[in-house]
Each structure stands twice: as structure tokens, then as C-alpha cells.
Amino acid sequence: MRRVILIKYGELSTKKANRNFFINTLYNNIMGKLRGYEVKINKDRARMYIEFLEDDLEDIKSIVDSTFGIHSYHIAYIVESDDSVIQSTLLDCISKEKFSTFKIETKRSDKTFPIHSQDYNRVLGGLLLKNIPNIKVDVHNPELWIKVEIREKETFIYYHSYAGSGGYPVGTQPKGLLMLSGGIDSPVAGYMALKRGMKLEAVYFEAMPHTSIEARNKVIKLSKKLAKYCPSIVLHIVNFTPIQEEIYKNCREDYVITIMRRMMYRIMEKLIVKYNGLVIVNGESIGQVASQTLTSMSVINQVTSVPVIRPLVLMKIAVQYLYQDIQLLILNLRWQFQKKRSLIMIV
């Protein structure tokens, strides 16, 4: 018996002709992030599993957690496809768990295995009921959902499921350049772009001494945070001081921010060509600041023909409406409660 991390693709399974490309990209991403660990990764069109050293399990789980393209994963036991071995392994593993209800689901890929799937569910369920006290079967809402997959040479047994990060593997989309500032919006936009499979490099516009070394260090720290979700992120730091000072000297004060943003977009367009990017990604959100009104965004955008991806552009508005809906719901509930209380007092 050995343990593996069994990975399920989820959304990748819908990619038809491109399916192998997505799976191979995911495989390469995981292998890159596990460099330095003694692992072996096997993959096919349905799933992938990682063989590991027991001492590395928690580290590897953390890496799998932060890898886009994974729908879910399990810690699975692999045993010989033999009835007695399956039963003894299952009983040994499940006896260590705490639960009151369970369900067993058998999938018999190897049709030469002598017991049909539904019959084997009853065999294994009876085994657990007979040997573990105070448990019962619940096929609708079990505390422990045990899955047994019987293949030609080996059988997988697993029951704990862990949610993956979802999305597409990084690298299944072309490269974008992220305008990364020290705020929260731009790294969140970068995270969302990575989750849809986009490669990213980051660009930070620095204007020392108008900006501080602490601001630069914060951006570097944010880059490292984003690098957790992809093989690596290159951070380009642009010296924007000369341009910014010329803008302050020669432009009306109420135009300064708009003109600076236009200059940043012009620089981004050149960097896109230099580093073989396809799009600009930023954290702009309508109404967040004065330069992010629709009018300002339209004026700023006119200096570039490169597509600009704004993952957060409507999110704050959506959150605002959601918040208002929740507030209205709370007020309505309070009114209903006060109305009922008044009726009770009258009676």
C-alpha cells in the first residue's frame, strides 16, 4: 500500500482537442513548483497523481492548493486489485477516522474483477458496519464519502476531498503585463488573470523621491505573493520621476493624473512589444478614484491600441449593490420582527 495525491481536473476535462495541452501545462507547472522534492507524477486524460515522501506531504499539499487548473484533490491509497487486500486496507484506514454516517461508491473500471460495483458497495459497507461501532449508512448526506476505484492492476481508495484553486493552468493563455502598484486592487487583478491561465510579468512605475523605498519593497512583496500561484513573476521597475516632474512643470494641475496615466500606458505599450506580451492588465475599477471614471478611462485608453484587461472594473459596484441588498434585508427582517412583537404585546 502507498499513498498518493490524486488530482482531478474539473473544467480542463471540457477542452476536447486542446485537452492534452491544458493537462501537459498543468503537469509542467506542478513539476516546476515541486522542484527540489522527491516526487513522481503520473497523468492521463482523466486525472493525475503525485507519489511523494511522507515527510513532504503538508508542503506538497500547500503547493497543490495554490496551483491553478486543479478542481479538487484527494489523499488516496493505492493497493493491489485483490478483494482481500482492498477489504483489509479499507477497514484499516477507515477505523482511524471519526464519523457517524458514511457512503461507499465503487467504480469498477476493470470488468474482470469478479464483483459488480453495486454488489461491492454492499460488501464493503457490510464490512464497515460489522467492525466499526455506532455508524450507519447515509447515501444522501454522509459525513464520510468513501470512493473505491478498481483498475486492472491497482485500486484507489480515498475519502477526504480538498478543493483546488480551479481556473486554468498558468501558461494556457499568452502573456500579459500587470500594472502593479502598492494597493490591493492591482494584485487581485493579477491573481484573477493568472487564474484564467494568463502568464504575467509586472510593471511598477517608481518616482523617487516622490515615492518611497518602502513603496518599492511593498510592490516586491506583492510580486512574491503572486509568484506563489505561478512558476515565477518578473517585476520591471520603471523610473518615472523625470516624466512626472515634467508633467508637474508644464501641465494644469487638474490634468496631471490623466496625463501621467496616458504616459504610463504609452510606456506599457512599448514594454508589451519588448517582452512579447499581448495585453495590459490593471486593477482599475469604475469610480474608485477620479482617474477611473468612464470618461477618464476613455481618454487615457486612447493612447494605446493594446487591449487593456480590467478584471475588477465592475466588482466594487456589484459589491456595493450586494451590501445595499443585505442592508435592506436586515431592515426588513427587523421590521417584521417588530411587527410580530407588537402583535404579541397587543394580544
Q: Which residue has the higher pLDDT, 27 or 160?
A: 27
Residue 152 lies in a domain: yes
Tell whether 182 and 148 lie within a shared domain.
Answer: no
Residue 62 lies in a domain: yes
pLDDT of 192 > 80? The answer is yes
Residue 151 lies in a domain: yes
Residue 60 lies in a domain: yes
Q: What's residue 322's pLDDT?
A: 45
Task: Indicate the residue among 130, 164, 198 that finishes a domain.
Answer: 164
Tell whether 53 and 146 lie within a shared domain.
Answer: yes
Give the CATH number, domain containing residue 78: 3.30.2130.30
Tell whether 156 and 10 lie within a shared domain.
Answer: yes
Give the CATH number, domain containing residue 213: 3.40.50.620
> How many CA atoms lie within 13 Å of 40's alpha carbon, on the beta-carbon side?
6
Residue 85 in contact with residue 74, Cβ under 8 Å? no
Share of the chain above pLDDT 90, in %: 73
Residue 237 lies in a domain: yes
Phi, psi of 48 (to 5 degrees): -140, 145
Task: Indicate the residue among 107, 141, 164 that finishes a domain.
Answer: 164
Tell whether 28 and 60 lie within a shared domain.
Answer: yes
Q: What's residue 230's pLDDT?
A: 87
Q: What's residue 347's pLDDT?
A: 33
Confidence of residue 337 (pLDDT cuts 50, 70, 90): low
Cα–Cα distance between 45 and 55 in angstroms, integer? 29
pLDDT of 346 > 50? The answer is no
Q: What's residue 22's pLDDT?
A: 92
Task: Indicate the residue among 124, 144, 164 that finishes a domain.
Answer: 164
Tell whether 124 and 234 lie within a shared domain.
Answer: no
Residue 170 lies in a domain: no
Domain containing residue 139: 2-164
Residue 336 lies in a domain: no
pLDDT of 200 > 60? The answer is yes
pLDDT of 13 > 90? The answer is no
Tell whether 138 and 182 lie within a shared domain.
Answer: no
SS3 state at 283: coil
Contacts of 51 (CB under 8 A, 6+ apart): 2, 4, 39, 40, 41, 42
Q: What is the pLDDT of residues 78-110, one digit of tens each?
A: 999 999 999 999 999 999 999 999 999 999 999
**Domains in the chain, number:** 2
SS3 state at 46: coil
Cα–Cα distance between 84 and 317 in angstroms, integer? 59
Cα–Cα distance between 173 and 160 in angstroms, integer? 32
